[in-house]
Amino acid sequence: MLSRRLFLQTSAAMAAAQTTAPKRLAIITTIYRYLSHAQHMGDRFLIGYPIEGAWHKPNIKVVSLYVDQKPEGDLSGVRAREFGFQVYPTIAETLRCGGDKLGVDAVLIIGEHGDYPRNDKGQVLYPRYEFFEQVVKVFEAEKRTVPVFNDKHLSYSFEKAKAMVDASRRLHFPMLAGSSLPVTWRLPAFDLPLGCRIDEALMVGVGGSDPMDFHALEAMQCMVERRGRGETGVKAVQLIEGDEVWKAGEQGRYSKALLSSALSRSDTPLGLSFEDSRPQDMVRDGVLPKLVAKPAAYFIEYKDGLKATLLMLDGALKDFNFAAKVRGMPEPQSTQFLLTPVPNVTYSACLMHKVEEMFESGVAPYPVERTLLVSGMLESCLTSKVQNHARLETPHLAVSYKAPAKSQFPQT
Amino acid sequence: MSTTTKRPKLAAVATTFFKYSHAQHIVDRFLDGYGWAGKHHRPRMDLVSLYVDQVNPKTDLSRERATRHPDMKIYPTIAEALTLGTGKLAVDGVVLIGEHGKYERNEKGQTKYPRWEFFEQIVDVYRKSGKSVPIFNDKHLSWNWEWARKMYDTSRELGFAFMAGSSLPVTWRTPSVEMPLGSRIREALCVCYGGVDSYDYHGLETIQCIVERRRGGESGVKWIQAYRGTQFWDAYEKGAWSRELMESALCRSHTLTPSRAGFNDTLPTTADMKRLVKDPVAYCYEHTDGLKCAMLLMSGLVRDFNFAAHVEGQRRPWSTQMYLPMPDGRTTLASFFSPLVNNMEPMFLTGKPTYPVERTLLTTGLTAAGVDSLFRKQVRVETPHLAIKYQPTKESTFWRT
C-alpha cells in the first residue's frame, strides 16, 4: 500500500529527478514498429509525453535497446541513430551497454506484438519470462539490480509469472507490470471506496483472446482489489462460451442488473445503435444474443467469497465497462475505462508515467501481485476453456496483496 | 417552483431528422432513454409531437420513430405540433433543434438556420393561448444577433423558462475538474477544430462555461478580433494569446495529429502547426473586466476541445479537455447529448433552467461578431451590445456521474 508519506517521497523523487543526472534506461522488446507497444511506450522516454496538461520530458535517457524480431517497418535502427543509443544483439549486452558491467538504471520489458506461436489454449507465447530471466541473470551475476517494468501480463504461464515476481522479491528490485486500463481515464472518474464490501462485480470487454481478455480482467481486478481487507486470491475459475453464457445469465450466475449498468456506460453499442445511432437498453430489449455470435463468460470466484464475471461480448459494443454492487450503495456503481483513440493512444502515456514514477522513486505505485494474479486467472480460464469449460479449483492463485490507497487513474 | 407530478408533454421542433443529426440524438433520448448514472434512464416526460421542416425520404428517420413510438405524432406545422390539433397550446415544453438541413448561407458564410423563425412561431402560439411553457434551444440562438436578442427578450417578456446551448459545457471532462467559483482568471483559451459559424460556437461555449465562474461572474465582452490564415500566425508570433496556454491545451488533446512519420504522439513545433493547419482561425476577445480569451480553430491538428487558463496563484496553467465521444468512427452514440438532455429534463419538470441562457446569448453574440470580424477583413469589432451580465450556477453541471 502506498502511504501518504511514501507518496510524498515519490513525488519528491520525481521533482528531484529533474535536477539530477538522467537515469539510463534499457528497452527490451519483441519488435519496435509503428504503433507497436514498444514504439508508443518506448518513444515516451525519447520525446516525452503529455501528462497533467504539459508536455513532460522524463529525466531518463534510453541508452540501449534489444529487439527480438525486426519485421518490415522496424524502427529500432532509426531510433538508435536519432537518439544516440545502441541496439545490441543480446539482452545481457543491452543491460551492460556493450561493456562488462550493468550499465543501466532501469529496464523496460515490452513483450507484445511480433510473430510468436500460440499454444493450444490460444495464448500467444510472448517471451516475457525468457526476457526477464535473462535480465535477472545479469542482475545476479553483477550482484546489482535496477527497477523493471513488464508490459501487460507477466507470462502466459502462472508458474513463470510467479518465478518473475519471486525473483524481484528475492533480489529486492522494484517491479511493476500490467495493462494501461487500470491507469487510463474513467467515465465517470470514479474508484470504489477502499475497504468497501462488494456483493458482485461484472466487467464487459471485447476483442480476441489472449490479448484483450487480459486487459478486461486487469481492469476488473484494479476495481475489486479495493474491497474489504484487500486481495486474498482466487479459489476457482470457469470459462463458458456460446449459448451457455445467456443461460447462465437467466440462472443468475451473473447479475443482469450489473450487465445493464456496465452497458449503460458504453459509447459504442452496436446493432441498431450502429445502424441509426439510437440509444438502446440492450439487456431489457434482449438484443445481446442476436448481436454476439461467440460470447464468453469468465467466472472468477475469489477466496473471500466475491464472485466476479468478465463477459467478452464481441459484436455488442467496442469498449470496456465495469459495474459492481457495493454494500450500502443502492444502485450499481459503474464506469467506462476510456481507451483514447489511435494513434495518440494517450493511455500509454498514463502507464509510462507510472513506470517513470517507479524508475525515479524505486517504489512501484501499485503492486505487481495484481498482474501476477490476473496472469494466473487468465491462464486458468483459458485452461477451463480447453477442458470442456470445467470449473477449475485454483489453490495456486492464493495471491494476497493490498490495493494502493491512492487511486491511480488520472484525475488531474 | 414545485416539481410537476404528472408527466410533462413535450413538442420537438426540428429542421431535419437523420442519423447523427442533432434532432435524432436529442429526440431519441426522450423516446428511447439513454445511459445515465449507471442505468438506462427514461425521462419522466413524454415527447408527444414532432415537427420536421425538411424531410429527405432517403435519410429521414422521423417517420420510423413515429411508427415505433405511436404516442409521438408528426405534425405538418409548428403550431399544430404545439397545440396537438386542439387550437390551443397543449404541451408543457418545447425542444427547438435548428441544426442540419439545407438552408441558405449569407454573404458572411453563416447558415441561416431558422431558429428565430421557429421560435417566433412557438411564441405566437404562446401569445394566442395566453400561456407559455419552457423552451430548450439547441446550440446558439440565431445567426443574427438582433433576432437572438429578441428571442431572449421575448422569453423574459412572456416569463417562460429558456435554456440553450451546446453539449460542450455539460459533457465529460478529462480530467474531471471544475474551475473553483470566484477564481481570478487572467487569460483563457480553447484549442479546437471545425469550421466558422459551426464549431467556433462550440469552442466559445467551452471557454465561457469555465470563465463565467471567475471572480465577479460574467460582465460581458468589449471587443473581438478574428485572425485567419497568415494573420493567425502573425498574431500567434506577436503573442496575441499565450503560447504556454496553447501548449497546455494541446497536451490535453487525445487526437493530436503526429507531426512526424513513425511517431504516434508528438508535441508540434510552430513549423509543424503551420504545415498541418491549413486554415487556422482565432477569435480573440476581451471581457469588460479585462479577461482576455482566445478561441482557436486548428483543424488538421486536433479533433477535440481543449481548454486552458492562467489562474492567479497557480504556477501552471489550469487545463482540461471537454471530451466528446464523437460518432466519427470512435463511437456510435454521440453520448454528449445525454448530459444535454439530462439538463433539459429538470427545466421541463420544474420550470427552472439548470444554467443561465445568458451564457448562450453571449456566445451567440460572440459567434456573430467573430464571423463579422472575419468578413470585415479581420478588423477589431467593438461589442457594446455584448455587455451581458450574469452569474454562473454554484453547482457544476458537467457530466460527472
For residues B319 and B194, state if they share a domain: yes
CB atoms within 10 A of CB A8: 10
Q: What are A311's strand-pairing partners?
A: A204, A297
What is the torsion angle, in degrees rounded to the nearest 10, for the CA atoms of residue B380, residue B383, residue B389 and residue B395?
-40
For residues B183 and B160, state if they share a domain: no
Cα end-to-end distance, chain A, whole Å: 21
Within-domain flag for A307: yes
Question: What DSSP element (H or E) covers A26?
Answer: strand A23-29
For residues B200 and B138, state if they share a domain: no
In chain B, residues 306-325 whose CB comes closer than 8 Å to chain A = 308, 316-320, 323, 325
| CATH code assigned at B85 | 3.40.50.720
The domain in which residue A95 lies consists of: 4-181+344-365
Cα end-to-end distance, chain B, whole Å: 25
Threshold 0.90, pTM exceeds? yes
For residues B35 and B140, state if they share a domain: yes
Question: Chain A partners of B263 at a C-beta cutoff of 8 Å?
Answer: 43, 47
For residues A17 and A145, state if they share a domain: yes
What is the torsion angle, in degrees rounded to the nearest 10, for the CA atoms of residue B202, residue B204, residue B210 and residue B212?
-130
In Å, how far is A116's CA from the nearest CA of chain B?
23
Three-point CA angle A252, A194, A363, nearest 5°: 120
For cell 464523437, what's the residue?
Answer: B326
Position B2 pLDDT exceeds 50: no
Give the residue from B334, B336, B338, B399 showing the smallest Cα distance to B43. B338
Instruction: Identify the weakest region by mean pLDDT among A35-44, A220-229, B229-238, B326-335.
Output: B326-335
For residues B161 and B174, state if they share a domain: no
Q: What are A238's strand-pairing partners?
A: A299
For residues A189 and A177, state if they share a domain: no
Instruction: State the DSSP string of B244-288.
Output: HHHHHHHTT-S-PPPSSTT-SS-PPPHHHHHHH-SS-EEEEEEET
Predicted pLDDT at A398: 98
Total number of domains constituting chain B: 2
For residues A119 and A206, state if they share a domain: no
Predicted pLDDT at A17: 60
What number of helices (H) and strands (E) belong to chain B?
11, 16
Within-domain flag for B365: no
Q: What are B96's strand-pairing partners?
A: B13, B137
Total number of domains constituting chain A: 2
Position B3 pLDDT exceeds 60: no
Beta strands per DSSP E along A38-94? 49-51, 54-56, 60-67, 86-87
For residues A43 and A172, state if they share a domain: yes
Predicted pLDDT at B328: 86
Within-domain flag for A379: no
Instruction: State the DSSP string of B21-35.
Output: SHHHHHHHHHHH-EE
Predicted pLDDT at A16: 63
Predicted pLDDT at A19: 73
> For residue B140, what is its C-alpha cell?
446558439
For residues B36 and B108, state if they share a domain: yes
| CATH code assigned at A101 | 3.40.50.720
Position B47 pLDDT exceeds 90: yes
Mean pLDDT, all residues of chain A: 96
For residues A62 and A157, state if they share a domain: yes
Q: Is the ipTM of this complex over 0.85?
A: yes
For cell 491507469, what's the residue?
Answer: A183
Question: With contact defined as beta carbons under 8 Å apart, do A399 and A376 qualify?
Answer: yes
Within-domain flag for A406: no
For residues B147 and B197, state if they share a domain: no
Position A1 pLDDT exceeds 50: no
Confidence at B329, pLDDT banded by 50, 70, 90: confident
Within-domain flag for B50: yes
In Å, how far is A262's CA from the nearest CA of chain B?
7
For residues B190 and B87, state if they share a domain: no
> For residue A260, what is its C-alpha cell?
445493464
Contacts of A172 (CB under 8 A, 6+ apart): A145
For residues A191 and A173, state if they share a domain: no
Question: Chain B partners of A267 at a C-beta cutoff of 8 Å?
Answer: 325, 330-333, 335
Question: Chain B partners of A333 at a C-beta cutoff of 8 Å?
Answer: 38
Average pLDDT over residues B177-189: 98
Within-domain flag for A70: yes
Residue B255 carries which side chain, given as an amino acid letter?
T
In chain B, residues 2-31 whose CB comes closer than 8 Å to chain A = 19-20, 24-25, 28-29
Question: With contact defined as beta carbons under 8 Å apart, do B301 and B193 qualify?
Answer: yes
Cβ <8 Å between A412 and B175: yes
Q: Is A236 exposed, middle or buried (0-12, 13-18, 19+ CB in 10 A)?
A: middle
For residues B177 and B49, state if they share a domain: no
User: HSE-up of B366 (CA within 13 Å, CB side)?
Assistant: 32
For residues B192 and B128, state if they share a domain: no
Within-domain flag for A396: no
Contacts of A336 (CB under 8 A, 6+ apart): A186, A187, A265, A266, A267, A319, A320, A321, A322
Confidence at A2, pLDDT banded by 50, 70, 90: very low
For residues A224 and A279, state if they share a domain: yes
Predicted pLDDT at B1: 44
Give B196-237 pLDDT, tens digit per residue.
Answer: 999 999 999 999 999 999 999 999 999 999 999 999 999 999
Within-domain flag for A330: yes
Residue A151 carries which side chain, given as an amino acid letter?
D
Predicted pLDDT at A14: 66
Give the residue from A231, A213, A232, A199 showing the smallest Cα distance to A310. A213
CA distances from B132 to A29, A235, B125, B160, B358 (A): 68, 64, 8, 6, 19
For residues B151 and B211, state if they share a domain: no
The domain in which residue B251 lies consists of: 170-323+377-384
Confidence at A18, pLDDT banded by 50, 70, 90: low
Within-domain flag for B369: no
Predicted pLDDT at A55: 98
Predicted pLDDT at A7: 55
Cβ <8 Å between A55 and B251: yes
In angstroms, rounded to a whole number, what is the distance separating the alpha carbons of residues A188 and A335? 6
Position A282 pLDDT exceeds 80: yes
For residues A190 and A174, state if they share a domain: no
